[in-house]
Amino acid sequence: MVDLIPEEPYQPMTSLAKAVGPLDQQSNLPLYQQLQRALRRAIESRLLGPDDALPAERDLATDFAVSRITVRKALDGLVAEGLLVRRQGSGNFVSARVEKNFAMLTSFSEDMRARGRTPRSVWLKRAAGTVTPEEALALRLSPGTPVYRFNRIRYADDAPMALEYATIVASALPSLEAVDTSLYEALERTAHRPVRALQRLRAVLLTGDQAELLKAKTGDAGLLVERLGSLPDGRAIEFSQSYYRGDTYDFVAELSALT
């Protein structure tokens, strides 16, 4: 006769609830927003990693002492942000794909950090030069205007996500070396960070060279995003072309009907 060992009660989020702290029942901030913040912190701090499953809603409700309606509302918001994905019959998971809000002007580094990923770059080229005819037309610059070019592979943790080819008007930065991890952070330090941009998204097939750099296969689906970033006075400051792996990146935008 085989002795059956009783299963221990499932306690999925006890350590996580302790790590992020309890919700404040006296706060003016709604409980569902507090829970969203708590789960977002867990993702950002890597207590919850890509593809990790969240416990069932009833377990979250028990751990954080809230109703299941509150839990559902919090999770719905994180799903809408792209931080979580809901799989029919399986539950909620931390998204391994990256959802980029096409309507928000944020940098790659900011997008990755918001999802608990560590951004880094491998430089392909950093060079000073003058505008090409294409760049001069896009940036509305005179021939011979000095620019800086930043070509690099963008990583989230150890996964290559995109190839970025950015051209910046040279007067916006003190030097090539001013850019470390984030181009936008360097531009912000000189008060030249773009505040609006025109973006174009196009489906492409990755070439052999692009696929090799992105650890993909030749002919795999990719997304080309062209961005023209401008300052508050309307001057164009940034022209970039970024090639994203189609299997890791989603671009989303919220639309509303005309009234």
For the chain, 259 residues long, give each residue's pLDDT as a single digit of tens: 444 444 444 444 456 677 777 788 888 889 999 999 888 888 777 788 777 888 888 888 888 889 999 999 999 988 877 778 888 888 888 877 676 777 778 888 888 887 777 888 999 999 999 999 999 999 999 999 999 999 999 998 888 889 999 999 999 999 999 998 889 999 999 999 999 999 999 999 999 999 999 988 999 999 999 999 999 999 999 999 999 988 777 777 777 787 6
Is there a single domain that holds both residue 172 and residue 198? Answer: yes
- E strands, 63-206, are 84-87, 91-94, 98-101, 119-130, 146-156, 159-169, 196-205
Query: Is the separation of the CB atoms in 237 and 172 below 8 Å?
Result: yes
Taking Cα atoms as reference points, which of 164, 77, 156, 51 lies closest to residue 114?
A: 156
- Closest CA relative to residue 198, chosen from 105, 98, 96: 105
**Shared domain check, 132 and 32:** no
Q: What is the total count of domains within the chain? A: 2
Verify that 19 and 71 share a domain, yes or no: yes
Q: Which residue has the tokens 């999925």?
A: 12
Domain end, chosen from 55, 76, 94, is at 94
Instruction: Give the domain CATH number at 82.
Output: 1.10.10.10
Structural domain containing residue 215:
98-252
Q: How far apart are the first and last CA of the chain?
A: 73
Do 105 and 87 belong to one domain?
no
